[in-house]
Amino acid sequence: METQEFRLGTQDTIVGIDLGSIEHQVVIKDAEGKRLTRFRISHSRERMDELFRRAQVAGKSQDAEGVRQVVFAFEATGHIWEAVAHYLQEHGQRYVIVNPLATFRVREVRQLSR
């Protein structure tokens, strides 16, 4: 898979996916971090199509600068991420692969709020 670097735009819609072997947890947020929706989908081609449609609907929020771009984000754990990345690449979608250690460290820091 070809890697590209890019920065999130101030108007981007972020689709975070917590991958699982049977189902995925999905949260869609706007550029300010406001949660737009949260849902689960099973791991199948039909449900990936549904995820794609729902992400596009959330990303079509109009503002002064036009339509928001959708960026998918998920950890590279197991082998499922490769199928998701391939699907997104087939559909011309931007995605980022998050290092699991980075996610662990963020969670660790947030739990130190004594």
The per-residue pLDDT for range 54-103, each reduced to its tens digit, is 888 887 754 545 556 899 999 987 888 999 999 999 998 889 998 887 77
**N-term to C-term CA, the chain:** 43
The per-residue pLDDT for range 10-69, each reduced to its tens digit, is 778 899 999 988 899 999 998 888 898 899 999 888 998 999 888 888 877 545 455 568
Mean pLDDT across the chain: 82
Domain extents in the chain: 13-110
User: Is 9:69 a contact under the CB 8 Å cutoff?
Assistant: yes
pTM reported for the whole predicted model: 0.79
Q: Which CATH class is domain 13-110?
A: alpha beta
